[in-house]
Amino acid sequence: MKIYYLIFISILLAGSLCAQDNYSVGKIEFTGNKAISASQLKKNLNLKSKNLIQKIAFWTKSQDFNEFYLEDNVQQIISLYQRAGFLKVDVKAYKDINRKKEKINLLYEIKENEPVLINDIKLKIDAKDQERIDSVKQLLETGRTDWILQENSIFRDLNILALNKYFHELLLNNGYPSPEIKQEILLTEAENKADVIYNISAGTFCSFGAVNIIGNERTPSHVISRQISFNGEQFSQTQLQETQRRIQQLGIFQFVTMKSMLDEIENNTIPIEIMVKELPEWSVKFGIGYGLEDRLRTSLDLLKLNFLGGARRANLYLKHSFLEPYNVSLKITQPAFLGPYGSLAFKPYLKKEHESAYDLETFGTSLTFQNIINPRLNGFISYRFERSFIDLSDETETDILNEFYNKSALSQGLSFNNSSPVFYPETGFSASYVVTLSGLKLNSKYHYLQGLVDLRKYQRILAELVLAGKIKIGSMKPIWGDTITPLEERYYAGGSLSLRGWGRNDVSPKNENNKSIGGNSYLELSLEARQKIFKILYLVLFLDAGNVWMDFDRHNLNDLKYSPGIGLRLRTPIGPIRLDAAQPVWDSKKSIQLHLSIGQAF
């Protein structure tokens, strides 16, 4: 009889679990949590409630409740607290079943109790002699007060591992190529304290030895050797990484690897092997696409490495589109110029630009020195000389004439970018400026000073929601007695990369025939909310604002034009395929503008 009774109870329990499994997860709340926030706890749960965006998208389904996930969540919370030093934490889960809405609200009751504190941090060093032990100890204990782990601080796994990593990197960069570090924990439960002991085997102290370069079939070894940042001093992993970046910066290798020959150490010197894999000597890129502004476009990029020997590169670039009927350029780049991260580029070019107000034909050349100050900071200085002919449309009436003229300009710029990932930035920001002085001898027709600043910020707000913002401001002033600036160098706004409620260059001072003739001051602001809705499809809501003024110092916020819009992004390996629709506000004469292109608006 007892057996039948147990079977009956089991069936009821199973039925209850199955019934609850058909319910969805409602609210998730916590009580008693002080050391860890509710938002941080929720990130580690398998059972999740809807976030704000999912609640707005009311058609999205809530997660189904699962009893086994609930037990796992309790263990996840306990584990998270224990890693944070609360070894005696107690967690209980309570369910509030709403049978009418078929939802289960969850409450996690947390009793944190007292955390474990660090009592002492000890270093046990294994070396050949007492002198080496003292040397290693002095190296590691320098700056002890700045360690991430301190006596009487809360015991945290991440801090213990971080200090281990700190010791490891310190030894690697101060002559020890093969250190081994293990930590052990001695816990005194009665006192709720722990000792952390680091057992350190520093290994052999070494200096850099001979360097062997392999894999370079076309590139002379001396070209690579010039990029090496060390020469006989004590071993340093940082110097190896620096050398690898310098060699990679030449732009002619598929990959560069640095290897410390630990099994060939002699007389406390360690040989270094540099292995390179060269890129193909010739490469061709052909592109074809369509945009609502430039219509059908085609391009060809032909690259020749080791041009005329050494590490020089030569790029032949050809392009045709409605906006650029032809664009031909040959760019010859000399890397490692005036330093490992410098480069000098010589670029003759011939092109034609087509705008509604004018056609411009130009041939000229530029000489640009670029220097990578650090992986995120880049600077350049460039000089260009052009011979141009401008052909104004019949309705373009300005002080400018149809004529040939020279332009001679010097530009300097600086850019910083720590946003990531490359095509789909979710965090970080970028900032850049360019200043141009035109009218440097050589019978240059126009004399002006021009500056442009571009600021962009990216921030992940929720799991799949990214907020992106942009500010661009520019100014251009005639100097040395001039009263006008060249039509093609002025500022224009409107189009797929600018104020999207207007067509290309439509936001601009106009002439009597309503033709855009550009302005000398410019301001643009943009804000985008990018939300993932399917695997490779994103929904974007945006607001663009800005204007262009004729005076160089106008920038009047009361004159800004506004255009909200909506867009779709289809994620691809080469960047998003973008479709945007925007409508100017407070302008009943303007219809909705559509833009189809590749790449983010910013």
Rounded to 5 degrees, φ, ψ at 158 are: -65, -35
Token couple for 188: 């005194």
Give the C-alpha separation, 349 to 317, whole Å.
9
Q: Quickly state the pLDDT bin for 471 (edges 50, 70, 90).
A: very high
CATH of segment(s) 2-111? 3.10.20.310
Judging by beta carbons within 10 Å of its beta carbon (0-12, 13-18, 19+), is residue 332 exposed, middle or buried?
middle
Q: Distance of CA 286 to CAs 194, 293, 347, 355, Å?
A: 64, 20, 20, 25
Mean pLDDT in residue range 481-499: 93
pLDDT at 586: 82
Token couple for 464: 């799949």
CATH superfamily, domain 207-278, is membrane protein fhac (3.10.20.310)
Give tens-digit pLDDT for 75-134. 999 999 999 999 999 999 999 998 888 889 999 999 999 999 999 999 999 987 898 999
Token couple for 249: 């910066």
pLDDT at 16: 44
pLDDT at 59: 56
Q: Where in the chain is the domain with CATH 2.40.160.50?
A: 396-412+421-430+440-598
Helix (H, G, I), strand (E, B) or coil at 232: coil
Give tens-digit pLDDT for 224-268. 999 999 988 999 999 999 999 999 999 999 999 999 999 999 899
Mean pLDDT in residue range 496-516: 90
Give the C-alpha separation, 516 to 550, whole Å.
11
Give tens-digit pLDDT for 274-323. 999 999 999 999 988 888 888 899 999 999 999 988 899 999 999 999 99
pLDDT at 575: 87
Taking the model in full, what pTM does it have?
0.81
Lowest model confidence (mean pLDDT) among 4-13, 81-90, 355-364, 478-487 = 4-13
CATH architecture assigned to 396-412+421-430+440-598: Beta Barrel (2.40)
Q: What is the DSSP letter of 487?
A: G
Torsion sign, CA atoms 38, 42, 44, 46: positive
Give the C-alpha separation, 505 to 436, whole Å.
21
Beta bridge partners of 528: 468, 542
Q: Distance of CA 457 to CAs 374, 454, 471, 523, Å?
A: 20, 10, 9, 17
> 117-201 has which fold?
Ubiquitin-like (UB roll) (3.10.20)
pLDDT at 15: 42
Compute the mean pLDDT over every residue in the chain, rounded to the nearest whole number.
90
pLDDT at 17: 43
pLDDT at 429: 96
Q: Which of 564, 574, 581, 582 lies closest to 598 in space, CA to CA?
A: 574
Q: Which helix (H) or strand (E) holds 408?
A: strand 403-417
34 or 290, greater pLDDT: 34
311 within 8 A of 336, measured Cβ to Cβ: yes
pLDDT at 397: 65
Count CB neighbours of 265 within 10 A: 18
Beta bridge partners of 289: 297
Q: Where in the chain is the domain with CATH 3.10.20.310?
A: 2-111, 117-201, 207-278
Instruction: Give the β-pairing of 207-214 and 269-278.
Output: parallel
39 or 341, greater pLDDT: 341
pLDDT at 14: 43
Asked if the peptide bond before residue 421 counts as cis, ω within 30 degrees of 0, the response is: yes
Token couple for 3: 């057996």
